Structure 1
Amino acid sequence: MLLNQQFYTGSGALLLLLLWSAVAPFDRTTWLLEIFPVLLAWPLLWWTRKSYPLTPLLYALILLHALVLILGGAYSYARVPLGFWLMDWFALERNPYDKIGHLMQGFAPVLVAREILLRGAYIWGQRMLNFLLLCIVLAISATYELIEWAAAVLLGQGADEFLGTQGYAWDTQADMGFALLGAILALLLLSRWHDRQLAQLAVT
């Protein structure tokens, strides 16, 4: 019951954020491209909330990841206010919000993959599990970079806001590096918490 309440509360907050972001985004095409993963993932989570409920930790991380995507879509990644604050605090030359997005691209999906692999008992052994999880995250990151490349080819200069490179020549490699870093941090910081919630979910 508590998990259902949390899920419905999170869904309501997500809907409000999506509506807010849709009112006057910086660029409508960029907004749609950035929030598209949210439009795919959350209906799937709603549909499977009873047949395959996830741990509360994972739902919270997915919601946080969705928030990062929605803000990036509303402002464009190079113009999110949080990024400008970080620029001032750390004396950076570029708005780093794009890197927060790619950090989350590893941080949340690695636990999605971990939950699926562990609940399905698809693999045994912690080292091999972690190795495969990092491979999965890098595959997701590389796929996203290919999508960005396709958008650049199809949209031309219109894809600049979606890409968010801000003139950085090594943006693609840095994006994948931050996704890998996010995955490593999530495994180091959250694995035990995740294990406890998985055990509780199995009992429930």
Structure 2
Amino acid sequence: MAWSWHQPADRLTWWLEALPVVVAVPLLIATRGRFPLTRLAYWLIALHAVVLLVGAHYTYARVPLGFWLEELLGFTRNHYDRIGHLAQGFIPAMVAREILLRRRVVRPGGWLFFLVNCFVLALAATYELLEWWTAVIAEEGAIAFLGTQGDVWDTQWDMLFALIGALVAQLTLARLHDRQLAQVAPGPV
């Protein structure tokens, strides 16, 4: 986290973008003894933290990886923001799946898949509402945080990419996740 904090492009944006990591790390440490997650969940959370902290350091519109992709693929904007929102769906989907299964809120199957997607969309919508609220409060100071880069459909794209992330995560990682869940929380899942 220190590398991201050191000389960020915009200090307010750093706080706004890095806050989920600042909150999640102590929470994960505090709950590890009572409710340890699977290795997969911890690795995915670490990956998401990196995505968030890179975006926080540069601001999402100025991340070098996004510029490289823009040049390589002929995009008209820096799409690191899209990577961030894909991760915003991919990683929370697996964590939500794990909590829903381990707390026996729902059994594996269609309802689990549906509820995880609903959770991810609710999370993405909440984030978009927070972005809007920040823009109303901070006005000019929120431009780097919003990172719309002139795209009037940015909010909708962000939510779509979060949903795609959730779908891809569940379709590709469910079996691996189920095996790890059996090791962490033996018994019927």
Q: State which of 123, 126, 145 in structure 2 corresponds to 1:143.
A: 126
* Higher-helix-fraction structure: 1
How many angstroms apart in 2 are the aligned matches of 1:98 and 1:184?
18
Measured against aligned partners, the alpha-carbon deviations of 1:106-141 in whole angstroms (never above 9, x if no partner) come to 000011110011011111250011011100100000
Equivalent position amino acid for 1:135 in 2: C
1:101 lines up with 2:84 in the alignment? yes
Equivalent position amino acid for 1:148 in 2: E
Q: Which one has more relative contact order, counting CA pairs under 8 Å at least 6 apart?
A: 2
Runs of 4+ in 1 over 3 A off after TM superposition: none
For normalisation by structure 1, the TM-score amounts to 0.90
Q: How does 1:52-91 map to 2 (within 5 A)?
A: 52-91=35-74
Measured against aligned partners, the alpha-carbon deviations of 1:116-167 in whole angstroms (never above 9, x if no partner) come to 1101111125001101110010000000000000000011011010011000
Measured against aligned partners, the alpha-carbon deviations of 1:54-113 in whole angstroms (never above 9, x if no partner) come to 000000000100100100010000000000111011100000000000000000001111
Cα distance change on mapping 1:129 and 1:48 into 2, 3 Å: same
Q: Which residue pairs with 2:117 in the alignment?
A: 134
Q: Which ranges in structure 1 are unaligned for 5 or more consecutive residues? A: 1-17
Q: Which ranges in structure 2 are unaligned for 5 or more consecutive residues? A: none
On the 8 A contact 2:101/2:108 being kept in 1, the answer is no
Q: Which residue pairs with 2:19 in the alignment?
A: 36
Q: Which residue pairs with 2:154 in the alignment?
A: 171
Aligned pair count reads 187
Secondary structure class of the residue paired with 1:123: coil
Q: State which of 21, 27, 34 in structure 2 corresponds to 1:51.
A: 34
Q: Which residue pairs with 1:121 in the alignment?
A: 104
Q: State which of 140, 145, 148 in structure 2 corresponds to 1:162.
A: 145
For normalisation by structure 2, the TM-score amounts to 0.97
Equivalent position amino acid for 2:92 in 1: P
How many angstroms apart in 2 are the aligned matches of 1:136 and 1:203?
25
How many angstroms apart in 2 are the aligned matches of 1:25 and 1:185?
32
Q: CA RMSD in A?
A: 1.1
Secondary structure class of the residue paired with 1:197: helix
Cα distance change on mapping 1:125 and 1:64 into 2, 3 Å: closer
Q: Percent identity?
A: 58
On the 8 A contact 2:88/2:165 being kept in 1, the answer is yes
Shift of 1:203: 3.9
Q: State which of 14, 21, 25 in structure 1 corresponds to 2:4.
A: 21
Cα distance change on mapping 1:203 and 1:127 into 2, 3 Å: closer
